[in-house]
Amino acid sequence: MTPLPKYFSTYFPCPSNKKFFTTDETFITAAGQGDVQISPFIILKNVLHVPKLSTNLISVQKLTKDLSCNVVFHINYILQDKNSGRMIGHAREWNGLYYMEEPNLPIKGHSLI
């Protein structure tokens, strides 16, 4: 999910009934969805555009399923291609969240949950 619509390579409006319950007990609505390329190796499919979010969020479960990759949690977070074992993504932990690090990210500071 991202509040930033300008990084979508494909974009389709969402029906107004696509809503999410937040931790502060309010509902937020997705305005659209599409694909976002966040690195040469990572294209996120069906990313939701949620204008009221304050940060970008990536689901680790969806990431590993869509990219068919492994995740290694240690002090940092590493995404590895399942077949070659090559690192395709990296994140650092800060205050209980993992933040992706990639020099070519169009959207800086993706939070991983």
User: What does the alpha-carbon distance between residue 3 and residue 54 come to, in Å, rounded to a whole number?
Assistant: 7
> Pick from 91, 92, 65, 69: which is nearest to 80 by CA?
69
Domain ranges in the chain?
5-112
pTM of the model: 0.75
The number of beta carbons lying within 10 Å of the beta carbon of residue 22 is 12
C-alpha–C-alpha distance, residues 91 and 93, integer Å: 7
Q: What is the pLDDT along the chain (113 residues), one digit of tens a residue?
A: 999 988 899 999 988 778 888 778 888 899 999 999 887 778 889 999 999 888 888 888 888 888 888 888 877 777 787 888 888 888 888 888 778 765 444 444 454 44
Question: What is the gyration radius of the CA atoms in the chain, in angstroms?
Answer: 14
Tokens at residue 43, please?
Answer: 């294209």
Q: What integer pLDDT is reported at residue 11 of this predicted model?
A: 95
